[in-house]
Structure 1
Amino acid sequence: MTTVHLLAPVEQLRRALGDERRRALDDMVAVLAAGATTLARVFPAAARRTGRGDLFVDGPRLEDAVRVELVATAAARLDPGTLLAELEDLYRHGDADEKRAVLLALGGIDDPLVDGSALLLDALRTNDVRLVAAAMGPHARRLSAHDWRHGVLKCLFVGVPVAGVADLAARADDELAAMVRRYTDEREAAGREVPPDAFLVRDLTTPTTRPEG
């Protein structure tokens, strides 16, 4: 059994849905909890059955909150390996919205046996700002230092606010600062605007000064 932290409290999500859509979500949760179906059967149609849109100002989207709750329900009865396999399958066959929900669900999983770093790396190879932002959430702690640094740089390239990068201040190091300095120097030399977040990241750490001689 693996715990998945939800994007929104259950009661808040139910209030936002209304009666018909709330019943649809409760039905999906019930059949998943009973083991009568799989995530693959309910995940794709979840947004159609419960709706889309912002759940609340500056908060998660309703369809993401619904899908993460479905993942949490399934995770309560699956072993970590099976859960990861199902999430990989959902991501591999899903559209961009479904991929984002999988990445957000991974961000709510603390179980060390559920390592979705391969999915994060796939998302970081895209230019979809929604996928890049979701990939650099809490689950990015699983990425190697090398891959994580390149993930931060990808945020700068595609315009994802680095405020959403988990553990940025804690993981920023001299190598990241050097990478961002090269990025800002190249843009300035080309007469291109440098995003303010680049200076924020660059200034998080001071490069180590090597002794002369």
Structure 2
Amino acid sequence: MLTPREELDAELDEAARTWLDAALGEAAAEATRGGASVHGAPRSEAAAEATRSEAAAAGSPRSGAAADASRAVADPYASPSWELRYSAAGRHCGQRHADAVRSLLLVEARAPLASVTRLYDRGTAAERRAVLLTLHLLDLGDTALPLVEDALRTNDTRLVAAAVGPYAADHLAPHAWRHAVLKCLFTEVPVAAVARLADRARGDAELARMLTDFAAERTAAGRPVPEDLRTALALTDPAGHPAPPTAAPAPTEES
């Protein structure tokens, strides 16, 4: 079975593989230094060459990521150079591989909370999604929950789907997790995206009540009840494996 890196190497062209080698080298070096956010050490020749190449492509004077990379050497409070690589992953390795590349960078750097927060706060939706998808592979405990909570407040289905992954399954409190399941139903994110849904839903009477109320509201409004709601409701049975009901839950008298 191929590792994520081997799968990428099989897909990327030589230029992209060379860029990825340099990017992962910078991330590994940062991890060796302890993952500190201060970057004042000299860059590797590979990093310097990448900066010169990007500057040449952008034209002089340097701009964008190339300028940021140049300033990182002189500014003791600048972000680590691998974080600049994180943002550039789609440009160098293609959008189809960007999530995998960004995840590798986060893991290789053993990204601390400061880095993942910075990358999330400053990132595009795609860059934020990659952070969320990788949180469970990092040693962050529950400290990154604010990022998940932020994503669940959006209506961006890409972020919502990424936010209910393994990290949320491990760390979201029951009340917040139940609302995350409802958020998926509201935004039409398939409940299949919810990691460990069957395990956490089993025997959860409060989740069953919330789902039943939501179904009743939909029915009262003349709107269809999503099949995913029936699936999630069925999983709340203590037995954990009943067949999904074929009809929508009946409205309560209060509805």
In the alignment, which residue of structure 2 is the partner of 1:136?
Answer: 164
In the alignment, which residue of structure 1 is the partner of 2:26?
Answer: 31
Residue 194 of structure 1, CA deviation: 1.6
TM-score, normalised to structure 2, is 0.69
1:66 to 2:86 alignment: no
Separation (CA, whole Å) in 2 of partners of 1:114 and 1:48: 32
Residue 32 of structure 1, CA deviation: 2.1
Separation (CA, whole Å) in 1 of partners of 2:114 and 2:84: 15
In the alignment, which residue of structure 1 is the partner of 2:125?
Answer: 96
Partner SS for 1:44: helix
Partner SS for 1:187: helix
In the alignment, which residue of structure 2 is the partner of 1:192?
Answer: 223
Residue 164 of structure 1, CA deviation: 1.9
Q: Larger relative CO (CA 8 A, sep 6+): 1 or 2?
A: 1
- What RMSD, in angstroms, separates the aligned Cα atoms of the two structures? 1.6
CA contact (8 A) 1:99 1:131 kept: yes
Partner SS for 2:109: helix
Separation (CA, whole Å) in 1 of partners of 2:211 and 2:82: 40
Unpaired segments of 5 or more residues in structure 2?
Answer: 31-42, 44-79, 239-255
In the alignment, which residue of structure 1 is the partner of 2:61?
Answer: none
1:204 to 2:235 alignment: yes
Paired positions, count: 185
1:71-128 residue CA offsets vs partner (Å, 9 max, x unmatched) = 01110xx6xxxx011101110111100100100110323x353631110000000011
CA contact (8 A) 1:115 1:142 kept: no
In the alignment, which residue of structure 1 is the partner of 2:146?
Answer: 118
The structure whose Rg is larger is: 2
Residue 25 of structure 1, CA deviation: 0.9
In the alignment, which residue of structure 2 is the partner of 1:43?
Answer: 86
* Percent of residue pairs bearing the same amino acid type: 48
